[in-house]
Amino acid sequence: MTDLVVDELLDLLRLEPLEDNLFRGASRDIGTKYVFGGQVLGQALSAAQRTVEPDRAVHSLHAYFLRAGDVGSPIVYDVDRTRDGKSFSVRRVSAIQHGQPILVFAASFQRPEPGAEHQISMPEVPAPDELPEPEPLAPEVMARLPAKLQRWLSRRGPFEFRPVYPRNELQPSKQPPYQQVWFRLGARIGDDPAQHRSLLAYASDFHLIGTTTFPHGISYLQPNVQMASLDHALWFHRPFRIDQWLLYACDSPTAQGARGLARGLIYDTAGRLVAATAQEGMIRVLSD
């Protein structure tokens, strides 16, 4: 059984076909200034998957964010069927809004086949059921924030998040550049693996680039901090369910030149490494 906010997200990822290889997706205002990057990633992957044989699953995607997206307008996804080989297929996607590309995206798909297998172990962290749900901000604190930010912080989104070490984003302290966050979709959905992968692409944009701010004691909520995703990579390693708890283990090896790099490993509760991510983002601290 699903609920309203989950249904809205599922609808967001069900694109309208316009022509062969051409799709249109709606935009959602979730309280961010521009279209949430995860939305464009999830929709671009949904578009690419619609053009690939069902026996081929995406194993990697790479994207560049070119322009900020307008939350009030739909996005058109133009898919290029770059190659269909015996084992692999490649698709390139342009996400277009107001006549200009806002994202370029490439994904590779593979038929299942056996091979050598290994993985690094999941970090030792408390199970999600051992962690409390995040506390909402006090009303007097919320009242001092801009209206759009209030909507972002107060909305009940389609995903549940339980950080292992919660951070106060309004009063951030300096800490090492890593974090672990359990997450899952807030309601049970069907078994279509392609849908679960599109939803993971959406969710993978949460928390990742924020890890780069930890050593500096800054936060995206501060008015003098500008942050934006520049690129995003996601690799799918093993089957998973997005409606069951997954651990997002993020770290940031470097920041320099107004850019920060973050990496993430995603595990299921059995400790299997199901996906990995990398993202570079712009980080600017403006002078007062």
Indicate whether 114 pLDDT > 90: yes
- With CA atoms as reference, report the closest residue to 174 among 214, 220, 221: 214
Taking every pair of Cα atoms in the chain, the longest distance, rounded to a whole number of angstroms, is: 60
Asked about 89 being catalytic, the answer comes back as: no
Mean per-residue pLDDT over the chain, rounded = 93
Pick from 25-29, 107-111, 282-286 the range whose average pLDDT is largest: 107-111
pLDDT for the residue numbered 136: 72
| 55 catalytically annotated | no
Q: Domain spans of the chain?
A: 4-111+132-285
Q: Please, which pLDDT band fits residue 94 given cuts at 50, 70 and 90?
A: very high
Confidence of residue 157 (pLDDT cuts 50, 70, 90): confident
Distance CA 10, CA 12 (A): 5
Helix (H) or strand (E) holding 41: helix 37-49
Catalytic residue among 205, 243, 251, 268: 205
pLDDT of residue 269: 98
> Which pLDDT band, with edges at 50, 70 and 90, does 223 fall under?
confident
Q: Which of 27, 229, 243, 251 is catalytic?
A: 229
Confidence label for 77 from pLDDT (cuts 50, 70 and 90): very high
Task: Give residue 27's pLDDT band: very low, low, confident or very high (50, 70, 90).
Answer: very high
Taking 70 as the threshold, does the pLDDT of residue 151 lie above it? no
Which residue, chain included where needed, has tokens 């996906």? 275
CATH architecture of the domain 4-111+132-285 equals Beta Barrel (2.40)
Higher per-residue confidence, 56 vs 136: 56
Contact predicate 26/12, CB 8 Å? yes
pLDDT at 1 over 50: no
Look up 288 and say whether it is catalytic. no
| Angle between helix 4-13 and helix 193-203 axes, rounded to 10 deg | 100
